[in-house]
Amino acid sequence: MTRQPEMQIASRVVYQGRILNLRVDQVRLPNDQETFREVVEHAQAVAVVAVDEDRNIFLVRQYRYPVGKELLELPAGILEAKEEPLSGAQRELAEETGIMAGSWQYLFSIYSTPGFTDEQIHLFLARELHFTGQSLDEDEFIKVTKVPLEQVPEMIRRGEICDAKSIAGLLGAALYI
Amino acid sequence: MTRQPEMQIASRVVYQGRILNLRVDQVRLPNDQETFREVVEHAQAVAVVAVDEDRNIFLVRQYRYPVGKELLELPAGILEAKEEPLSGAQRELAEETGIMAGSWQYLFSIYSTPGFTDEQIHLFLARELHFTGQSLDEDEFIKVTKVPLEQVPEMIRRGEICDAKSIAGLLGAALYI
């Protein structure tokens, strides 16, 4: 039996909040020393690369309070309780951009920053798009932008797209289309 | 003067720790309603795409306690106080892999997950590699793996590389080399 590399000895819940919880765990390392790990618990999330027939993609621009600026990102959001990733991706794309898609493909899943959080984001590719209307949460203020897929690499190089899931999803989608 | 989209009204420090702090801020939204934002404060970080003359890249495999598994990632780490990103990248690459590089190029910077943390990771491309020896922190247990760059897309598709900064860095580096 393989020994767990870092064994939990104790766990203390520091905060239970709206989109995250924080706990601090005492763990035993492979060298038998003890240390502690700070873990931000976060629900699973989804993000969508929606491509139209002219190879445009749809990004959302919104103010991100933790970084103090507006960012250009893939449509994305947190899964609701017991929601399947595909359903969540369809819901978030519709809510944030008003887009419905006839074709959905799972790409891959990413850990946002596994040094301190369990947040995992499932990435999807959406095609055969048609448009209904945005329906945002009360505290969401989001502008939708259409960008030619071929401009994405230059936008990443210039720092205009600088969100990790969006870069991973956009460059990752190019492996599939 | 443009009004800040989300204005801080109050701020409460919930936790001050080793690699992160947590605060909960009361904010006023553009529609004048109030809500709160949970913000994980984290130091800036660096990650390195190190490519040798045969187009192999060097990844590190380590157990990530928050996600409960070993992940294959770019060499990376947190900047020390007042450390420049390039110096931090050189230090982390040397410590984690024992690699020194003769050529360094800044790629771009990413926000890990801007919905709840300010963590930003600066990505670098390192070439003209030569090898010294690993010098890990006491609580780091890291194995170095050499992978042909051309295998990276398939490893991402199969979920063998599933860390956001690593996917962004590896696919992003391909825009430069």
Q: Is the domain of A23 the same as that of A53?
A: no
Q: Which residues in chain B are contacts of A175 at CB distance < 8 A?
A: 153, 156-157, 171
Q: Give the CATH number for residue A105.
A: 3.90.79.10
Q: Is the domain of B27 the same as that of B102?
A: no
Model pLDDT for residues B1-58, shown as the tens digit of each residue: 456 789 999 999 999 999 999 999 999 998 899 999 999 999 999 999 999 999 999 9
pLDDT of residue A113: 98
Q: How far is CA B151 from each of CA A74, B5, B129, B171, B176, rounded to the nearest angstrom?
A: 26, 43, 20, 12, 17
Q: Is the domain of B29 the same as that of B110?
A: no
Average pLDDT of chain B? 95
Q: Is the domain of B79 the same as that of B15?
A: no
Q: Is A36 in contact with B18 (Cβ distance < 8 A)?
A: yes
Model pLDDT for residues A61-114, shown as the tens digit of each residue: 999 999 999 999 999 999 999 999 999 999 999 999 999 999 999 999 999 999
Nearest chain B residue to A18 by CA distance is B38
Nearest CA-CA distance, residue A132 and chain B, Å: 24
Q: Is the domain of B127 the same as that of B66?
A: yes
Nearest CA-CA distance, residue B159 and chain A, Å: 6
Q: Is the domain of B147 the same as that of B165?
A: yes
CA distance A169 to A36: 32
Residue B2 lies in a domain: no
Residue B1 lies in a domain: no
pLDDT of residue B163: 98
Three-class SS of residue A134?
Answer: coil
Q: How confident is the model at residue A1 (pLDDT cuts 50, 70, 90)?
A: very low
Number of inter-chain CB pairs under 8 A, A vs B: 189
pTM of the complete model: 0.95
Q: Which residues in chain A are contacts of B25 at CB distance < 8 A?
A: 65
- Domain tally, chain A: 2
pLDDT of residue A177: 84
Residue B37 lies in a domain: yes
Q: Is the ipTM of this complex over 0.85?
A: yes
pLDDT of residue B1: 45
Residue B19 lies in a domain: yes
Average pLDDT of chain A? 95
Per-residue pLDDT for A129 more than 70?
A: yes
Beta-bridged to residue B148, according to DSSP, are B56
Q: Is the domain of A36 the same as that of A52?
A: no
Mean pLDDT (whole number) for B83-95: 97
Asked whether the CA dihedral B131, B123, A50, A123 is positive or negative, the reply is positive
Model pLDDT for residues B144-177, shown as the tens digit of each residue: 999 999 999 999 999 999 999 999 999 999 988 8
Per annotation, catalytic residue among A92, A95, A138, A150: A138
Q: Which amino acid is at A79?
A: L
- Burial label, A29 (beta-carbon count in 10 A; 0-12, 13-18, 19+): middle
Nearest chain B residue to A14 by CA distance is B15
pLDDT of residue A60: 97
Nearest CA-CA distance, residue A134 and chain B, Å: 17
pLDDT of residue B133: 75
Q: Is the domain of A96 the same as that of A148?
A: yes
Residues 6 or more apart whose Cβ sits within 8 Å of residue A52: A58, A127, A129, A146
Nearest CA-CA distance, residue B57 and chain A, Å: 18
Percent of chain B with pLDDT over 70: 97
Mutate to test the interface with A, among B65, B109, B166 (most CBs of A within 10 A): B65
Q: Is A14 in contact with B18 (Cβ distance < 8 A)?
A: no
Residue A1 lies in a domain: no
- Burial label, B63 (beta-carbon count in 10 A; 0-12, 13-18, 19+): middle
Residue A2 lies in a domain: no
Which domain, by its residues, includes A20? Answer: 7-42
Nearest chain B residue to A156 by CA distance is B108
Mean pLDDT (whole number) for A48-59: 97
Per-residue pLDDT for A3 more than 70?
A: no
pLDDT of residue B4: 75
